[in-house]
Structure 1
Amino acid sequence: MSHAPDELTRQIVGLFAAINRRYSQESEAAATAHGLTPLQAKALLAAEEPAPMRHIADRLHAEPSNVTTIVDRLESRGLAERSPDPDDRRVKRVAATEAGRTVAVDLRTRMPFAAAPLARLTAQQRETLRELLQLVLDT
């Protein structure tokens, strides 16, 4: 019995790669237009509404210690600011400044695919896709 991938599997893996490439190229080009790295741009988008550092880290799939450096850079550019969370002073919140929100709007405009890669799918199709991908990961 051969374990070589069948043609359909090859096509599906190729589509994953193409989607990832398109997402990466578009988000990198949008970030570069503002002198940002893709992670800095993603952090800025996550901070459009004030959010705890932990939330930003989760959105970036990054360690909070790495997010500190990213937010430092956004702060130094005047695009974001930290403040204590009003409900828990131990928690630091990050919020885009007015300039940061302007950049965030432009980032979204420059990355229609990356901002909404599943836009053409119905809610049911998204749910099915999530279940199928989870099944692949759990294998």
Structure 2
Amino acid sequence: MASSTGRPGTDPLTCEVVELIGTIVARYHEEYEQAAAEHSLTGAQARVLGLLTLAPVPMRHIATSLRCEPSNVTGIVDRLESRGLVERRPDPADRRVKLAAATDEGRATARRLRDALHFAREPLAALSEDERTSLRDLLRRMLDSPAAGPAGPAAG
């Protein structure tokens, strides 16, 4: 959408939406970091643990997902492994590759962490199913837009 100045995205409505999205993101990250700290995890450790609850993942894919150096992932996985939340296993398809996988305790910790995140869940519960569906579809459209760039990882 172009404003009266001809520059896209500078109209007052678009600016307000951008501000609201920024506020939501900041509040979500703040609550996520607090929930992670209550489980003696950093935000990055919590994100890796959440990712690993979906399926075992090669270390290099974790780095790609988090947009960080593989050496950072090694340190994060080392700390999670020392707490019994994650284990390394060989990839059955290529035994040279190590997969990181959540342990039972890691999955339970990730579930408790997710359950502690009320910020997004409670306001969303106030919306009807149709409204949540519309919001989801609009957010997907925004993320699928060529201007959005590559999609980021989910936050646990």
TM-score category (smaller protein): 0.7 to 0.9
Which sections of structure 2, spanning at least 5 residues, go unmatched?
150-156
Which sections of structure 1, spanning at least 5 residues, go unmatched?
none
One of 74, 84, 92 as aligned partner of 1:86: 92
Q: Which residue of 1 aligns with 2:104?
A: 98
Whole-Å separation in 1 of the counterparts to 2:58 and 2:137? 31
Whole-Å separation in 1 of the counterparts to 2:36 and 2:52? 15
Whole-Å separation in 2 of the counterparts to 1:50 and 1:84? 10
CA offset digits 1:92-136 (Å, max 9, x no partner): 10011111111011011112538xx8x92445434322244x325
Residue identity over aligned pairs, in percent, reads 46
Q: Which residue of 2 aligns with 1:34?
A: 39
1:70 aligns with 2:76: yes
Question: Which aligned runs of 4 or more in structure 1 are off by greater than 3 angstroms?
Answer: 121-124
1:15 aligns with 2:20: yes
1:82 Cα deviation after fit: 0.7
What TM-score comes out, normalization by structure 2 length? 0.72
Partner letter of residue 28 of structure 1? E
Partner letter of residue 130 of structure 1? L
Change (3 A) 1:95 1:136: closer
Q: For the aligned residues, what is the CA RMSD?
A: 2.6
Whole-Å separation in 1 of the counterparts to 2:17 and 2:139? 16
Q: Which residue of 1 aligns with 2:116?
A: 110
What TM-score comes out, normalization by structure 1 length? 0.80
Q: How many residues align?
A: 133
Q: Which residue of 1 aligns with 2:143?
A: 130
